[in-house]
Structure formats: structure tokens, C-alpha cells
Amino acid sequence: MTKREQLQAAAKDRVLIFDGAFGTQIQLRKLTEEDYAGNLGLKADQKGNNDILALTRPDVLSDITRAYFEAGSDIVSTNTFSANRISQADYAAEGLVREINVASGKLARALADEYAAKDGKPRFVAGAIGPTNKTLSLSPDVEDPGYREITFDYLVDVYLEQARALVEGGVDFILIETVFDTLNAKAGVMAVKQLERELGREVPVMISMTLTDLSGRNLSGHTVEAFWYAVRHAKPVTIGLNCSFGAEQLRPHVKVLSQIADTLLMIYPNAGLPNELGEYDELPDTTAGLVKDWADHGQVNILGGCCGSSPAHIAAIAKAVANSEPRAVPSPEPAMKLAGLEAFIAA
């Protein structure tokens, strides 16, 4: 049975649990520059480069990953959101992209296998790929709307380097997450398809969009429905929403996506909205109560947390939906479904 089939089989029995935020948990450790930099000898200050901890303080990432498994996670992500050539250039660490991703993948894989061996339940690892700090759809120069900082082909190469290393590290899926630009996500999909040709096997993708306003669009202007039709060809094992807002604000958009997506739905919202200091105050039971409503209405297959969430949030979610029926994946009527900024369906 393939990893795609294993995940789909597990999702038929119950609502599965994803993990929560790494950044919040890392911040709680109050790490110093020396913790981040280790003995790598990099020229730039490394404080805040969470991804490089896979090389310098893997014990920190192991503790956090273990805490999420203890909280009930069936799927954990690698701490590699910014472990790509573009983002790591800010820390003069672009030469360590492969090492960071391989190490993160191996770390998560070992713990997933350890917990699966304890109770016989499968545990999965999603190799996290963030959007980078570049956008293919929009110009950073308001006086030159046609200007782009990078090309599509370059971003494909950036993602391919990262995805290849994550798979080498042992991940089950590539999670293209926090998608603010649909074209960036397409570059990620293209990279994975190239990797599949290299390996001669499927590398299933998970895709997760982030909204930039309450009307339900991402930064490149796509509605939730249009986004799904723009990436559906990739046959993602999961589609979903993460970050941007808390569960309360995502409610109508979860409902829309649940009705149209013929694959598993994975939602991991922030722990509410940030306060004036940029911190998240929403308590675990509050988050759990909000996402339980989605489960009670048969709208989700996998639930987790994003910014501000903790193992306590994940444990509360796992407890809240323990007896909930998982969403039945719909089988929409065949039709031509296209995507501009809005969805277009040819009846």
C-alpha cells in the first residue's frame, strides 16, 4: 500500500490530527545566537533561523515533534518552512539547504516510526515547503508592474532542491503550504513532478492555501474555489487552508472547499487572531471547540494548528474530535472547471 493509500485508509475511520506551530514553541526556548549558529562557521547572524536548528540543536526539534505526537498527531511536518535557497540566503546559509532538509526529514521520520511501533497506528511525515519571500504573480515595484524578482523556472529549481532533500530524509508527502501566490504553488507542483520522474515513483503532494483577507482570496487574488481548480490537476492527497486567520474567520471558506474538493481536506488555522503585541491568546479549548463544529458538520478530514498553536491546542483538538465522523470525500459531476481570479464552470 502506498503512503497515499495508507493516509486515505486511515482517514476513512476518523478525523486525523496534524501537528501545530514550531515557531511558537522554538521561541519559548529562548535560544541564543550560539544555539542557532553552532559550529557551522557561517558569516551571518543565525538567530531566528529556525530551520538551521536541525543541524545545530536537533534536540529542540525532537522535543517539539515528540510533544506533538504525544498530543495525538497522526501527521507531523518537518521544520523546513524556510529551508530553501531563497530564504536561507538571508542568513548566508543557502549552501546548507540539502543538509538542513535531509536532517529534518530524518528526525521526523525516526520519531514517526517510533510512535507507530508503539501502538501499530501509522504516523506520517509531511515535508514542509513554504512560499519563500518572493512572488511570481506580482511585481515588488509599483512603478514597473511587469518586473519580477525571480522566474518560474528558477523557483522550480529552488523547490526541487528542497523536495529532493526532504524525500532523501524520509518524508511521506511534500506539503506546499501557506500559499499566498498560486503561481508559486504551481512551481512547487512542477518541482515535485520533476522529482517523481527522477525517482520513478509518486511523491504525493499536500497543498494548503492562506487567505489574505476575509473575502476569501490569497495575495494573487484567487478565491478558494478558483485556487482549487487551479491546482486540482496535481491530484493532491490533501487540499486545505492554513495560517492567515483563526478558525472563526475560516468557517465559510472551509465549507466551500469541503463541498467541491474531491480529496482529503486538511485545515490548520492560527490560534485566533494576534493581539497588539503579535501574540496569540486563544486558549486550546476555544480552538478545539471551533474546529469541532467543522467536524460535527462533516467538513474536514484532518485538523491541526498553525501560528500560536501548541501541543496543548493539538491535544484539545484531538480530544474534541475523537468521536467525530470524518468528511466523506465528494464525487462532483464531471464538468470543465477553470480558474481565473474567480472560478468558471462550463455547464
Q: E strands of 35-106, at which residues?
A: 75-77
**Grid cell at residue 286:** 476555544
| Single-letter residue type at 290 | L
Question: Mean per-residue pLDDT for 18-43?
Answer: 96
Do residues 111 and 79 make contact, with C-beta atoms less than 8 angstroms apart? no
How high is the pLDDT of residue 233?
Answer: 96
- What pTM did the predictor assign? 0.96
How high is the pLDDT of residue 278?
Answer: 84
Percentage of the residues of the chain whose pLDDT score is greater than 70 = 100
Q: How confident is the model at residue 277 (pLDDT cuts 50, 70, 90)?
A: confident
Do residues 269 and 229 make contact, with C-beta atoms less than 8 angstroms apart? no
Question: Mean per-residue pLDDT for 217-224?
Answer: 95
pLDDT digits (tens, 9 = 90+) for 278-306: 889 999 999 999 999 999 999 999 999 99
Rounded Cα gap, residues 299 and 289, in angstroms: 14
- Helices (H), ranges, 74-176: 85-88, 97-119, 152-169
By three-state DSSP, how is residue 117 classified?
Answer: helix
| Helical (H) or strand (E) element with 253 | helix 247-260
Question: Mean per-residue pLDDT for 263-289?
Answer: 94
How high is the pLDDT of residue 163?
Answer: 98
pLDDT at 5 exceeding the cut of 80: yes
**Grid cell at residue 281:** 491568546
Do residues 29 and 61 make contact, with C-beta atoms less than 8 angstroms apart? no
pLDDT digits (tens, 9 = 90+) for 167-191: 999 999 999 999 999 999 999 999 9
How high is the pLDDT of residue 316?
Answer: 98
pLDDT at 57 exceeding the cut of 80: yes
How high is the pLDDT of residue 333?
Answer: 87
Question: Mean per-residue pLDDT for 29-52?
Answer: 96
Task: Identify the burial level of 94 via C-beta atoms within 10 angstroms of its C-beta, where 0-12 means exposed, 13-18 middle and 19 or more buried.
Answer: middle
Do residues 143 and 108 make contact, with C-beta atoms less than 8 angstroms apart? no
How high is the pLDDT of residue 116?
Answer: 98
Do residues 31 and 57 make contact, with C-beta atoms less than 8 angstroms apart? yes
pLDDT digits (tens, 9 = 90+) for 61-70: 999 999 999 9
| Helical (H) or strand (E) element with 242 | strand 238-246
Do residues 291 and 271 make contact, with C-beta atoms less than 8 angstroms apart? no
pLDDT digits (tens, 9 = 90+) for 134-167: 999 999 999 999 999 999 999 999 999 999 999 9
How high is the pLDDT of residue 260?
Answer: 96
In the block, which residue shows the cell 464538468?
A: 335
How high is the pLDDT of residue 159?
Answer: 98
**Grid cell at residue 24:** 511558537
Q: Mean pLDDT of all residues in the chain? A: 96
pLDDT at 347 exceeding the cut of 80: no
